[in-house]
Structure 1
Amino acid sequence: MKMLGVLGGMGPLASAEFMRQLTLLTPADRDQDHIPTVLWSDPRVPDRTAARVHGGEDPLPALVRGIRGLEAAGCEAIVIPCNTAHGWYEGMREATRLPILHIVDAAAAELRRLGVNEGPIGLMGTSGTLAMRLYQERLGFECLTPDAEIQEGFVMPAVGLVKANRIEETYAPLALVARGLHAQGASAVVLGCTEIPLGIAAGPELEFPVVDTIAALARAAIDWAKA
């Protein structure tokens, strides 16, 4: 079976959750039925939102360093369980011959799997992801996003709490934002930051479809490996 490379560490818990989801979602009866995988988890990659929104250090050299490691390990495709890192997708793609499965495409496929065929779609993510319009330009649906006050007062602090391993504190603010987008007319909400599904999973299931982009990327990786 083909070897999958996971360019992770952004953040480490999201990468670990991707590996868990990849394992749980893979149809398997024994160890040998699972997908050979190399996880490159490097939390030293400069902050992606800081780079894009505040002029911080460019993460691309660190991302390419990880890609080189995965190439050397014999990987045949790469997934990146970090939405904001896809702002450097073109630069990464130009740096490697390996296919890089795009997380927004995985989210679009997950919407179709859930039976969501029309928008608008609620979109939650980091300020960097929203500013780069990664989903708005590629998802294929009209996207509703939180206003600036909600984004900076609820979403970004919750993302920070997940990165600090304080997950139990994040469900209430994240669920509040998701329900607000649904109330505005969103037929589903895409959790377009791989920390956000971890927070949403810490409380009761929401009353409308949500796309866990960690699980969506895992399904895309399984489809690639089984093709």
Structure 2
Amino acid sequence: MNDKVIGILGGMGPEATADLFIKIIKATKVNSDQDHFRVIIDNNPKIPDRTKYILGLGENPVQALIQTGRNLEKSGVDIACIPCITAHYFIEEVQSNLKIPILNCLEQTNKYIKQNYPNIKTIGVLSTTGTINIKLFEKYIKNINLIYPDKNIQKYNVMEAIYGEKGIKSGNIDKYPLNLLLQASEQLIKNGAEILISGCTEINLVLKTSHISIPLLDPMQILADDIIKS
């Protein structure tokens, strides 16, 4: 019986939050509804944008993250997770203000890479510019060459696919953001990436392993698989 209560500190963005919930459901082996984990979601899209703050263009999201986490605590969750990779920049400060543990998707992704790709030398990362600037993946993935799109591709392809008027955060998960991300992926593959990481939760709503010639790791899938085992 799966009696653990899982909390999702969500809203960053709402569709990525829903996607993680679906991943948790599908990762759980069940024979009936009652076999599923109870999952409590605080879908709080009012949390200030993490990338804008990191780039010096917006409000600090930490207090909103903490308050949302406390809502989950009050609801009785046993373990929580955050469906926003850039928000993991703040995870230590948020965790220090909460009693419930937060499973860190970047730590879990690092473990997954070591277990499944022990000989990998170069990984391409598709992520927000904020995540790149704070070297968030470098904090957790050591002794591997991490490469990113060049500045123009990052701005006009990756960030446009995520934040653009016809981007994923505007509710579009069609060919427009996909084609932008495919161009960025092709550049990383050309530059030697042996695997890619979907380093923003919006990206994995559009870009799938079947679209590219090398493996694509989804930290949110890794997180979903791990949180049901924790």
- Maintained 8 Å contact 2:73/2:99: no
In the alignment, structure 2 segments of 5+ residues that lack a partner are none
The range that moved more, 105-114 or 186-195, is: 105-114
Q: Give, as a single letter, the amino acid of the residue that structure 2 aligns with 1:88.
A: F
Count of aligned positions: 223
Q: Give, as a single letter, the amino acid of the residue that structure 1 aligns with 2:149.
A: P
3-state SS of 2:211 partner: coil
Aligned to 2:178: 171
Q: Give, as a single letter, the amino acid of the residue that structure 2 aligns with 1:40.
A: D
Task: Provide the rounded CA distance (Å) in 2 between the counterparts of 1:28 and 1:133.
Answer: 39
- Maintained 8 Å contact 1:10/1:81: yes
**Residue among 188, 203, 227 paired with 1:221:** 227
Task: Provide the rounded CA distance (Å) in 2 between the counterparts of 1:112 and 1:147.
Answer: 27
Task: Provide the rounded CA distance (Å) in 1 between the counterparts of 2:112 and 2:184.
Answer: 21
Aligned to 1:189: 196
Map 1:104-123 onto structure 2 (within 5 A): 104-112=106-114, 114-115=116-117, 117-123=119-125
Q: Give, as a single letter, the amino acid of the residue that structure 2 aligns with 1:191.
A: S
- Maintained 8 Å contact 2:106/2:137: yes
How many angstroms does 1:113 deviate by? 5.7
Scaled by the length of structure 1, the TM-score of the pair is: 0.93
Aligned to 2:138: 136
- Maintained 8 Å contact 2:42/2:71: yes
How many angstroms does 1:69 deviate by? 0.3
- Maintained 8 Å contact 1:51/1:57: yes
1:154 aligns with 2:161: no
3-state SS of 1:135 partner: helix
Runs (4+) of structure 1 exceeding 4 A deviation are none
CA-to-partner distance for each residue in 1:131-164, whole Å, 9 max, x for gaps?
1111012123321111211111110010121111
3-state SS of 2:7 partner: strand
**Residue among 61, 68, 71 paired with 1:69:** 71
The range that moved more, 6-15 or 54-63, is: 54-63
Task: Provide the rounded CA distance (Å) in 2 between the counterparts of 1:128 and 1:109.
Answer: 23
In the alignment, structure 1 segments of 5+ residues that lack a partner are none
Map 1:4-23 onto structure 2 (within 5 A): 4-23=6-25
CA RMSD of aligned residues (A): 1.5
**Residue among 86, 89, 96 paired with 1:87:** 89
| Identical positions, percent | 31
3-state SS of 2:84 partner: coil
3-state SS of 2:80 partner: strand
Q: Give, as a single letter, the amino acid of the residue that structure 2 aligns with 1:172.
A: N
